[in-house]
Structures are given as C-alpha cells and as structure tokens.
C-alpha cells in the first residue's frame, strides 16, 4: 500500500471522504491525517527492532578515540551485543557508561585486548585508542521506515506513491486511533486493537530464538554440551 492508499483506507474505515491526493493537499483534515500517519510510522519504528529496519555497519578504525566514519547517516539506535572487531575477532564492550569512560580516561595506562565504545555528542568513541586499520562491524536500526516508489529509504512519507518497510495494517490502525483522539472522540477500543496487533506482529518478526537454560556460546558452531545422556 502507498501513503495515499493507507490514508484512503483510514478514511473508509472512519466513514470519511477519501481524498484523491494527500501530500500537498490543502484540506485540513487530509493534512492532519498525513501528519498522524507519519507520527505513527516514527513511533512504530521506535517500538521494536524490526528486521526490515535492521542494517549492518562496518568501518575501519583510525588511531583516534573519535571514529568519524562509525555512525551511518540513517542511524537511529544500536542493536545491543552486535559489536565485533573483525580484525582481532573479539567482541567489543559497550556502550559503556559515562562513569566507565571517565574512569578509563583517568588511568595513566589502560591496556586491554577488548575495545570499549560509547556514543557522545553524535560521535562514536573507542577506548583504548585503537590502532589504525582495524575493521569494526555492528548492526543498528535505521531511522528510514519509509521509502519512495523507487526504493529510496526515507524517514517519513514525502509523496503519495511512497511505500513503507513496516506493517501497513499497523500503520492504518495506529492512524485511526490517533485521529479519533485528535478529534476528542473515544479511541480506547481502537488503540487496544492496534496494541494487540502490534504485539502479535512483533512476536513474529524475524523469527524467535529457542529458550534454553544452557549458556550460549558466541561461536554458534561450537557445542559445549551434549544433546542428551547427562549421566542420569
């Protein structure tokens, strides 16, 4: 569904007049619906680490604390525990706290084989200062939940023909309850319906890891425990 078709679907469900255009419309109600749809997209994107918004970033270190090329232009937030130094084949520690960072800076000599990182003032900082030429990789969530009809990623709908990486029914349901709330109408049932559907879609997104009490190795090909026959 396009941006326009979602708004038309919202209008049909609310018994409103369906517009022939949304982006660039001068109709106050259509302008409001477009704004609410974009807000729905931003909030839905921040709700869960959707696999459709998950990207990989790699960069090569410089011999400085601040790594200028570490953060992509569409960066929204990190995927925890996905940071690895591919050169040394070791995981990175972080994001560390301001206290931990300042403790490291206060040491006359701080040496470790495990690099630590934090984000501050839009900079990606590494301690101890790494040697130049090491490859760091991690996964992150992109802020671009929408895309043009030619698949150019975007942070919001910019044209009637724009599409989305997110679940279109969730965007529709979210826009409906937001519109009812903006009009001062009862929206409790519609919001509950949306939230229930949101949880169901999130539970199915990207599959699920099997639950186990056994420690999970970093190397998924390494087996620490037998499948059975534990001496019982």
Pairing of strands 135-142, 75-78: antiparallel
**Cβ pair 190, 173 in contact under 8 A:** yes
pLDDT at site 110: 72
- Where would I find the beta strands (DSSP E) of the chain? 54-60, 66-67, 75-78, 84-85, 90-91, 116-120, 123-127, 135-142, 146-147, 153-154, 163-164
pLDDT at site 220: 44
Higher pLDDT, 212 or 41: 41
Higher pLDDT, 6 or 231: 6
DSSP code for 227? S
**Cβ pair 37, 171 in contact under 8 A:** yes
24 pLDDT more than 90: yes
Sheet holding 163-164, edge to edge: 153-154, 146-147, 163-164
Kindly report the pTM of this predicted structure: 0.86
């Amino acid at each position: 569904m396009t941006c326009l078709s979602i708004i038309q679907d919202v209008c049909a469900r609310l018994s409103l007049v369906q517009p022939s255009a949304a982006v660039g419309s001068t109709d106050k109600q259509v302008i409001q619906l477009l704004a609410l749809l974009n807000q729905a997209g931003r909030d839905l994107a921040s709700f869960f680490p959707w696999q459709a918004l998950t990207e990989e970033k790699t960069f090569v270190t410089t011999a400085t604390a601040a790594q200028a090329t570490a953060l992509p232009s569409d960066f929204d937030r990190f995927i925890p525990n996905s940071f690895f130094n591919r050169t040394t084949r070791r995981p990175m520690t972080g994001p560390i706290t301001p206290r931990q960072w300042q403790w490291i800076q206060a040491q006359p000599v701080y040496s470790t084989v495990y690099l630590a990182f934090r984000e501050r003032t839009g900079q990606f900082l590494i301690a101890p200062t790494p040697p130049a030429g090491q490859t760091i990789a991690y996964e992150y969530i992109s802020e671009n939940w929408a895309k043009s009809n030619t698949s150019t990623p975007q942070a919001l709908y910019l044209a009637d023909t724009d599409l989305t990486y997110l679940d279109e029914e969730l965007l529709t349901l979210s826009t409906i309850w937001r519109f009812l709330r903006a009009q001062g109408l009862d929206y409790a049932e519609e919001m509950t319906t949306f939230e229930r559907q949101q949880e169901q879609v999130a539970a199915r997104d990207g599959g699920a890891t099997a639950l186990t009490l056994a420690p999970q190795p970093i190397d998924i090909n390494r087996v620490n425990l037998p499948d059975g026959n534990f001496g019982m």
